[in-house]
Structure 1
Amino acid sequence: MRRAGVLLHPTALPGVPVCGSFGAEAHRWLDLLADHGIKAWQLLPLAPPDALGSPYSSPSSFALNAWLLDPELLVAEGLLEPADLRELPQGGDPGRLDLVRADQRAEQLGGALLRRYPHWEPVQRERFASWRDQQRAWLVDHCRFWVLRRRFHAQPWWQWPQALACRQRSALRAFDAEAHQPLLQEALVQWQLQEQWQLLLDHARQRGIQVIGDVPFYVAHDSADVWSHRPLFSAAADGSLSQQSGVPPDYFSATGQLWGTPVYRWPLHRLTRFRWWIRRLQRQLSLVDLLRLDHFRALESAWCVPGGDRTAERGSWRPSPGASLLRRLSRRYRGQQLPLIAEDLGVITPAVEALRDRYGLPGMKILQFAFDGDPSNPYLPANYRGHNWCVYTGTHDNATCIGWWQQLSDEQRHQVEQLLGPVQAPGWQLLELALASEADWAVVPLQDLLHLGDEARFNTPGTCAGNWQWRLSCSVDQISGPLKGFGELAQRHQR
């Protein structure tokens, strides 16, 4: 049976000033999806974003984004008092996320949790202590990194005092003792984020909705992961990279794409039986039902560029032990289907397809990529047979369908209309094409359901300003009509 889903990141939810949260509007969102027969909610990574708001370049692969902490739930749990919320920053434009105020709001909520902590009921303190101990494999270094980052005014870890940058044990012990209170604050924030998210995840499961998460392939250079596990990455103690990530030159870029993150030292990952990778994936899979693995092709081989280069031209393909990693992960599922989706977009080799198919992972199809006049285009629905696919009208990196349609040439529009007929609502018409296909999943960004233009685009790759900030400016109840229409359309195409 096909599942229909909507792509919407929690930061874009309404109801709370500055940024969406895990609170009441998120729970109401789930109810609306379930009420209209929509069976999946797809997210972007839930990790803390970088300075530009991107969750794909996070300072932590294991932590949750403190912007999403809901203050009303903290009051309802007796962890804060209503008075603690009165001084929180308020938002300006309800349709845009405010990055600066979101940071301020998260910091003030964390400070309020710390102040109230001594007055909590013993049972609450015990629950926190138990969770903190269970998560210490990642939590200790995440909290250290976050507090140090704040202390040194967001300087990257390799510019910190050498003893801390190199993680000398005596320096870390002294820091732990001296920074006990801010470390406690960060741990409290992460605990409550997970508590609130778990309530939301439980609600989704009760309503029959699968939650689809997302995990980047690489981790940020300036991250708790690289700082605390540096030998696993191509980073030296001074922060320099011997190799960096990217993709080779192609039709779209004569110099390729240089991403600038460390690449993996796979021999050391093998020696540790992929312990860091397994912990990372298991952590993410504990938060969702299904996980999209971004840049899946790098599990077979990755484009590695010399660390000092400024373009990706001089890179080379290096093999990756993805088969060994997935085999080890699959043992933990005792023969069950791995709950992963392979982001296999772009130029994919037979070896990458073989790795994906060996583990029965769904691949991705994007309908906006289907119309180049080539009848063998792999994104055309007629060519989906023989595999389980997730088909999307577009993703967070694409223009909205209206923006896409407006940018097409007359010739390209003609190609689209040969398949769709006269185009009046491109998002809905592509969605119906997705639902009529052989794909097992059909997922649509909320912006396309709402017939929005590129003013609602979530991200434009290669640009630095204005991304990741779109929010739904009305309550979720006010979009019940389009969700109902989607559910009815999905039901008509059910097989």
Structure 2
Amino acid sequence: MTKKKVYPRLSGILLHPTSLPGPYGIGDLGPEAYEFVDNLKISGQKLWQVLPLGPVGGSNSPYQSYSSFAGQPLIISPDLLVEDRLLSPEDLSMIPSLPDGHVEYDAVRAYKRPLLKKALENFLLLPDEHPLKEEYEEFCKKEAEWLDDYCLFMAIMKANDGKPWYEWEAPIRKGNKTAKKKWMKMDAVKEEYTFQSFIQFLFFRQWSALKAYANEQGISIIGDIPIFAAANSADVWANKKLFKLDKDGHPTVVAGVPPDYFSETGQLWGNPLYKWNVHKKDRYSWWMSRIRAQLVKYDYVRIDHFRGLDEYWEVPADAETAMDGKWMPGPKADFFNVMREELGEDLPIIAEDLGLITQSVHDLRDQFDLPGMKILQFAFENIEDNDFLPYNYPRNSVCYTGTHDNDTSSGWYHSASEESKDKIRRYLSTDGSHISWDMIRCALSSVSRMAIIPIQDIFEDGSDRRMNIPGVAQGNWGYRYYKEQFHDGLKKGLREMSEIYGR
């Protein structure tokens, strides 16, 4: 008889580091991040979920990064650079006027790049035998597999006035070795390459220390892998044979999803699609490297759009909406069999199984004992019986009040239909005056092995404080909370509620 798995009951908060408070216009990996970890512990939480931590482009979306491996330099902490004596307190004395409750990304970039440049100047003045220099050299050797191409990619893009790689001149667009060597001889490229390498060192140094601290406090970190790579990324530029591209590097077909909960015309993401037959030939080596890298950064990893590994929505590159696509087969169980051989039987993976999901997706998830996601808001949008109602949850699942793509729970409730409002009030036995906390209680009391609460729901924030509106290109990803919001009363209430429900 097979022994039934016993899952510890855990709960935590969804908060991207950019959303932390602090004086530098964006949340970072410094003192406020450590205080947040302390607040998680005080609140009785065991999990911290973040969004992808890669360097972002013009949309500022963490799901459209220049690299699947690199870190976000904008969240490097200036305060920690002062502690390392790479900056002086005087270097931080002229902070521009930046908003507290929202990230103005362009203004943050304009402020932080010169600051990080100054840190590099000071770093280069250190003697060769300085521990930081030895640590840097070790980092560059260890991460060379992705770091070299990424730094060169970023340096050449800067030299090309920010143009995407598929608009570069042919030799370097194709990425041949002779062209790479030629570009690396240029002083401006060499200088930017060094800068990019250095700031990646800083990011990983600060993130590793923060993760170690969180783990010491009993907090595990859940990371997030976008299933697709961005078209304008070092991943695609350096690994063209793995993607469906034409001879000039443009995608022939792109990723998206058909109409679903979030959009009536579907979502057209525009990411190039994988040549899964090519990946299979080398046992998905690029993907396995990617997963390994994430499991160094995180304790658990959520695979965004898990369905794409079973089958994916393929849209012609010239289509105006995602409605014109078709389903194509993904790598299915073969992918996870290889992953188990490479990483072990118990995969610390969460399957984002939302949207239009077929039985084959459920079967793939369950075959490898992966927890899926349950969203409470979805339970009450459909007033009939549905899989998102808590009495239908399997134990091996993760319950969310909402995700980064949802409205806040308070905002959702106030814009919901009268039928939905009536159902949730009767289901939760509430008058709806504190609906966010009613939904938090519902998530914590569910049988799901994990319960995750977006921090906006703890604060009872409205729609104006949501993180993202899917299908809307601009104005997302800027949310930051105010330090005074996370007060002692909330911490005490969250701890007591978590303890009542065995979290």
Does the pair score TM above 0.5? yes
Answer yes or no: is 1:171 the counterpart of 2:167. no
Select which of 153, 156, 160 maps to 2:161: 153
Aligned residue in 2 for 1:14: 21
The aligned runs of 1:106-145 (5 Å cut-off) are 106-121=112-127, 122=129, 123-145=131-153
Answer yes or no: is 1:431 the counterpart of 2:440. yes
Aligned residue in 1 for 2:5: none
How far apart are the structure 2 equivalents of 1:492 and 1:197?
Answer: 33
Local SS of the residue matching 2:457: helix
State the AA in 1 paired with 2:222. I
More off after superposition, 107-116 vs 276-285: 107-116
How far apart are the structure 1 equivalents of 2:23 and 2:314?
Answer: 42
Answer yes or no: is 1:258 the counterpart of 2:265. no
Please list every run of at least 4 consecutive aligned residues from structure 1 whose deviation after the TM superposition is greater than 6 angstroms. Answer: none
- The answer to whether the 8 Å contact 2:66/2:233 transfers is yes
Query: How big is the alpha-carbon RMSD for the aligned residues of Structure 1 and Structure 2?
Result: 1.7
Answer yes or no: is 1:341 the counterpart of 2:341. no
Local SS of the residue matching 1:403: helix
Aligned-pair distance for 1:247? 1.6
Answer yes or no: is 1:489 the counterpart of 2:486. no
How far apart are the structure 2 equivalents of 1:299 and 1:404?
Answer: 30
Answer yes or no: is 1:467 the counterpart of 2:476. yes
- Percent identity, aligned pairs only, is 37
Local SS of the residue matching 1:305: strand
Aligned residue in 2 for 1:103: 109
Answer yes or no: is 1:27 the counterpart of 2:34. yes
Local SS of the residue matching 1:417: helix
**In the TM superposition, what whole-angstrom CA distance separates every residue of 1:159-182 from its partner, at most 9, and x where no partner exists?**
112221111322210212322222
Aligned residue in 1 for 2:292: 282
More off after superposition, 251-260 vs 197-206: 251-260
TM-aligned CA distance change 1:176 to 1:374, over 3 Å: same
How far apart are the structure 1 equivalents of 2:432 and 2:226?
Answer: 35
Select which of 201, 204, 207 maps to 2:214: 204
- The answer to whether the 8 Å contact 2:245/2:251 transfers is yes
TM-aligned CA distance change 1:484 to 1:119, over 3 Å: same
Select which of 406, 415, 422 maps to 1:407: 415
Unmatched segments (≥5 aa) in structure 1? none
TM-aligned CA distance change 1:154 to 1:480, over 3 Å: farther
State the AA in 2 paired with 1:370. A
Aligned-pair distance for 1:97? 0.7
Local SS of the residue matching 2:356: coil
How far apart are the structure 2 equivalents of 1:63 and 1:293?
Answer: 17
Answer yes or no: is 1:70 the counterpart of 2:80. no
**In the TM superposition, what whole-angstrom CA distance separates every residue of 1:188-210 from its partner, at most 9, and x where no partner exists?**
10001000001100000100001
- The answer to whether the 8 Å contact 1:113/1:188 transfers is no
How far apart are the structure 2 equivalents of 1:75 and 1:321?
Answer: 47
More off after superposition, 344-353 vs 239-248: 239-248
TM-aligned CA distance change 1:60 to 1:251, over 3 Å: closer
**In the TM superposition, what whole-angstrom CA distance separates every residue of 1:421-452 from its partner, at most 9, and x where no partner exists?**
22111110011111121111111111110111
How far apart are the structure 2 equivalents of 1:17 and 1:195?
Answer: 19
- The answer to whether the 8 Å contact 1:397/1:461 transfers is yes
Local SS of the residue matching 2:223: strand
**In the TM superposition, what whole-angstrom CA distance separates every residue of 1:337-365 from its partner, at most 9, and x where no partner exists?**
10110000112111111110111111000
How far apart are the structure 2 equivalents of 1:352 and 1:298?
Answer: 9
Select which of 29, 51, 66 maps to 1:59: 66
- The answer to whether the 8 Å contact 2:383/2:420 transfers is no
Aligned residue in 2 for 1:360: 369
Aligned residue in 1 for 2:397: 389
How far apart are the structure 2 equivalents of 1:345 and 1:126?
Answer: 45
**In the TM superposition, what whole-angstrom CA distance separates every residue of 1:51-88 from its partner, at most 9, and x where no partner exists?**
1211001111111111100111112112233343345x
Unmatched segments (≥5 aa) in structure 2? 1-7
Aligned residue in 2 for 1:270: 280
Answer yes or no: is 1:185 the counterpart of 2:195. yes
- The answer to whether the 8 Å contact 1:69/1:106 transfers is no
